[in-house]
């Protein structure tokens, strides 16, 4: 059976500070760096060998991917980066402290923005320092597809073509695949893979560690799902 391993990036500096991150290109914290290395060690211990890896264009996921592959002695595995695996764009909430946002907008409103499937947060101004419209890594994209805010529904809509064009065909070819991405881009793909309802996905959380493994049969039917854990002595 082929394996798909999802690794959410390790803790970032903004995770640590309790800030909304989204498309802001924030680095891993010291703890997050260690989580990525530990993820690779678990992969090695489990004997999982990859043929292809995919990640986003944000450094916290790229570094997690590289560190995990290195720690599992697989740094040579081809890695393809795509904006379609980026974190959900948190719009005008980007850079705000989550507790302060709750004070400003109300607990309930912030909870709806964070957890509802199809409610958009406030849009980011195009001249905001974190706007993707002026970021060189997105220069090849049509400006109309660059978001100013996303919910999980929109995140799935832009991640799904990458699943259909890249990840699923690789799995069907019998390749084991590593995806180093983000809490919400992984949640979006998990929703699609498991055919979860809009309500069901709201209860799904993806931790920074450990990695999540899906095993599929030849027809890409999900057979097994589990988190990697250290082998008991």
The single-letter DSSP state of residue 152 is: H
Is the residue at 56 inside a domain? Answer: yes
Spatial CA neighbour of 50 closest among 173, 204, 181: 173
- At 115 the pLDDT is 85
Q: Which domain does 53 fall in, by range?
A: 2-227
Is the residue at 232 inside a domain? Answer: no
- At 231 the pLDDT is 75
Is the residue at 233 inside a domain? Answer: no
Residues above pLDDT 70, as percent of the chain: 99
How many structural domains comprise the chain?
A: 1
- At 66 the pLDDT is 98
Query: Which residue of the set 9, 89, 130, 182 is catalytic?
Result: 9
Q: CA 34 to CA 55: how far, in whole Å?
A: 18
Is the residue at 109 inside a domain? Answer: yes
Q: CA 201 to CA 187: how far, in whole Å?
A: 7
Q: Quick check: is 182 catalytic? A: no
Q: What are phi and psi of 50, to 5 degrees?
A: -95, 150
CATH code where residue 222 lies? 3.40.50.1240
- At 232 the pLDDT is 65
Q: What is the pLDDT of residues 38-79, one digit of tens each?
A: 999 999 999 999 999 999 999 999 999 999 999 999 999 999
- At 230 the pLDDT is 81
Interacting residues of 72 by C-beta distance below 8 A, sequence separation 6+: 40, 41, 43, 44, 48
On whether the pTM is more than 0.85, the answer is yes
Is the residue at 114 inside a domain? Answer: yes
The list of the chain residues with pLDDT below 70 reads 232-233
Q: What is the pLDDT of residues 147-165, one digit of tens each?
A: 999 999 999 999 999 999 9
Q: Quick check: is 225 catalytic? A: no
Query: Which residue of the set 11, 87, 89, 130 is catalytic?
Result: 87
């Amino acid at each position: 059976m082929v394996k798909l391993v999802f690794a959410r990036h390790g803790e970032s500096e903004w995770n640590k500070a309790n800030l909304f991150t989204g498309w802001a290109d924030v680095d891993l914290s010291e703890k997050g760096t260690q989580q990525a290395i530990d993820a690779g060690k678990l992969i090695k211990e489990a004997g999982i060998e990859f043929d292809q890896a995919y990640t986003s264009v944000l450094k916290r996921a790229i570094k997690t991917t590289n560190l995990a592959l290195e720690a599992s002695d697989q740094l040579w595995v081809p890695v393809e980066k795509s904006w379609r695996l980026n974190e959900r764009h948190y719009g005008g909430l980007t850079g705000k402290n989550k507790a302060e946002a709750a004070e400003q907008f109300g607990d309930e409103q912030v909870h709806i923005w964070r957890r509802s499937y199809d409610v958009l947060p406030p849009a980011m101004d195009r001249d905001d320092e974190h706007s993707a419209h002026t970021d060189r890594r997105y220069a090849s994209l049509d400006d109309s597809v660059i978001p100013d805010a996303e919910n999980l529904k929109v995140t799935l809509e832009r991640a799904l073509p990458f699943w259909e064009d890249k990840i699923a065909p690789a799995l069907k070819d019998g390749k084991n695949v590593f995806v180093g991405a983000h809490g919400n881009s992984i949640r979006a793909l998990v929703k699609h893979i498991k055919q979860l309802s809009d309500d069901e996905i709201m209860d799904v959380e993806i931790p920074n560690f450990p990695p999540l493994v899906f095993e599929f049969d030849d027809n890409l039917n999900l057979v097994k799902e589990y988190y990697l854990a250290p082998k008991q002595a």
